[in-house]
Amino acid sequence: MPPSFWQAALDKMLKRVDQTGPQLKGAFPHYAQPTGEWVTTPDGDWTGGFWPGMCWLAAKATGGARYRRWALEWAERLRPRATSDTAFRGFLFYYGAVPGALLHYDATAREIALEGARHWAKAYNPNAGCFPLGAAAEEASDVGQGEASIDTVQGAALLVWAAQTAGEPAWKNLAVFHARRHIEFCVRADGSVCQSASFDPTTGALKRRYTHKGVSHESTWARAQAWAILGYALMHQWTGEKDFLDVAQKTADWWIAHVPPNRVAYWDFDAPVTPDTEHDSSATAITAAALLKVAAAQKDEQKRKEYRAAAEATVRALGEGYLDARGVLDRGCYSKRINLATRNELIWGSYYLFEALCVLAGQLEANKL
Ligand code: GLY
């Protein structure tokens, strides 16, 4: 694969960033209509970190002052969310502000990210050894103090970064406990992943495993699998703990063994396949970015090459078949269950493809962010 393919795809996505900024008017992009017009949220819902995250990366890749200005403006708009009762503060403050601190040494971004982490750390339940989903989490039902979801493992990386940055080692321990508890909650013995679990908030006992967005409680919703690969790859990256890499590999191997030959997952691995079955480009983009991390973590040269090749083939499939001339990553499936944005551009899918392209184009180290 000539490097120019990655840079050309990155340049297309940069045009989409240029086109997105002026249309937002202070709101946060969530998903886009086929026309390219964004459906926005006023407060960032669970996705508000991904737009400033793209802008921080765009500023790093191009040096463009406008991208850095946008990144900081939207990171600042996330500040009130530091006290929202949601475990998705991990997504909001990791992507919304940590790249500003890590890549640009921006003091305000550092302070915003720490504010998010400091407040979220207070939500830890020591009886259960995890952070509950919280009453204000995005999932429309089954949220609160006794619910857990695999998509909150990524956020534990915010707390590990914050522990190092603020000199608060206890936050790292909470993050490690949270990630380990979710292996028991969500990762099946064969390496497939279940989205969610209920637990007793007093004793911590696991009560059930279930899904909010998959075909069934026993099926494998594509984003559950993707969030697990990413969450455990990130937790290994930030802590060096071997068990997290083992889980990242096991869940990545399951994905690689089960993804269709074109490398792009259907919205659920157990969805009946017909010509109309929706793919989820966003789950695939999350996985591509995560596979680059899994590759970078390998000590064995052969394994490193294999994971890297899987990552490159996945990004190539998205770049060739799902990224249009406008720089729109289409055919993400937000929620098939409620028929919400089932063939659309989703801001988080765009973020992870953009991150993966930054790595492949040589603009970002795979294990930096
Ligand atoms: N709640 C995160 C997702 O829908 O992927």
Give residue-wise pLDDT tens across range 126-185.
Answer: 999 999 999 998 866 778 899 999 999 999 999 999 999 999 999 999 999 999 999 999
Average pLDDT, the chain: 97
Position 144 scores a pLDDT of 80
Position 142 scores a pLDDT of 79
For ligand 1, the distance from its centroid to the CA atom of residue 108, given in whole angstroms, is 28
- The CA distance from 229 to 259, in Å, is 14
pLDDT exceeds cutoff 70 at 37: yes
Which of 92, 95, 138 has most ligand 1 atoms within 8 Å of its beta carbon, as the pocket-test mutant? 138
pLDDT exceeds cutoff 70 at 52: yes
For ligand 1, the distance from its centroid to the CA atom of residue 228, given in whole angstroms, is 12
Position 2 scores a pLDDT of 57
Ligand 1 atom 2: the closest Cα is on which residue?
Answer: 151
Q: Rounded to the nearest 10 degrees, what angle do helices 65-78 and 107-121 cross at? A: 30
Q: Sort strands 147-149 and 196-199 into parallel, antiparallel or unpaired.
A: antiparallel
- The sheet with strand 38-41 has its strands ordered as 38-41, 28-32, 345-346
Which of 41, 46, 147, 333 has most ligand 1 atoms within 8 Å of its beta carbon, as the pocket-test mutant? 46
Which of 223, 336, 347 has most ligand 1 atoms within 8 Å of its beta carbon, as the pocket-test mutant? 223
CATH for 3-360 (3.40.50.150, 1.10.10.10, 1.20.120.1810, 1.50.10.10): 1.50.10.10
Mean of pLDDT values over 50-77: 98
Position 4 scores a pLDDT of 87
Ligand 1 atom 5: the closest Cα is on which residue?
Answer: 223
For ligand 1, the distance from its centroid to the CA atom of residue 143, given in whole angstroms, is 13
pLDDT exceeds cutoff 70 at 3: no
Tokens of 1: 């694969």
pLDDT exceeds cutoff 80 at 1: no
Helices and strands in the chain, H and E counts: 12, 6
- The CA distance from 96 to 353, in Å, is 16
C-beta of 147 in contact with ligand 1 (< 6 A): no
pLDDT exceeds cutoff 90 at 18: yes
For ligand 1, the distance from its centroid to the CA atom of residue 151, given in whole angstroms, is 7
Domain ranges of the chain: 3-360
The pTM is what?
Answer: 0.98
Ligand 1 atom 4: the closest Cα is on which residue?
Answer: 334
Could you count the other beta carbons within 10 Å of the beta carbon of residue 19? Answer: 14
pLDDT exceeds cutoff 60 at 217: yes
pLDDT digits (tens, 9 = 90+) for 259-309: 999 999 999 999 999 999 999 999 999 999 999 999 999 999 999 999 999
Work out the burial of residue 326: count CB atoms within 10 Å of its CB; fewer than 13 is exposed, 13-18 middle, 19 or more buried. Answer: middle
Position 239 scores a pLDDT of 98
pLDDT digits (tens, 9 = 90+) for 85-107: 999 999 999 999 999 999 999 99
C-beta of 106 in contact with ligand 1 (< 6 A): no
For ligand 1, the distance from its centroid to the CA atom of residue 100, given in whole angstroms, is 24
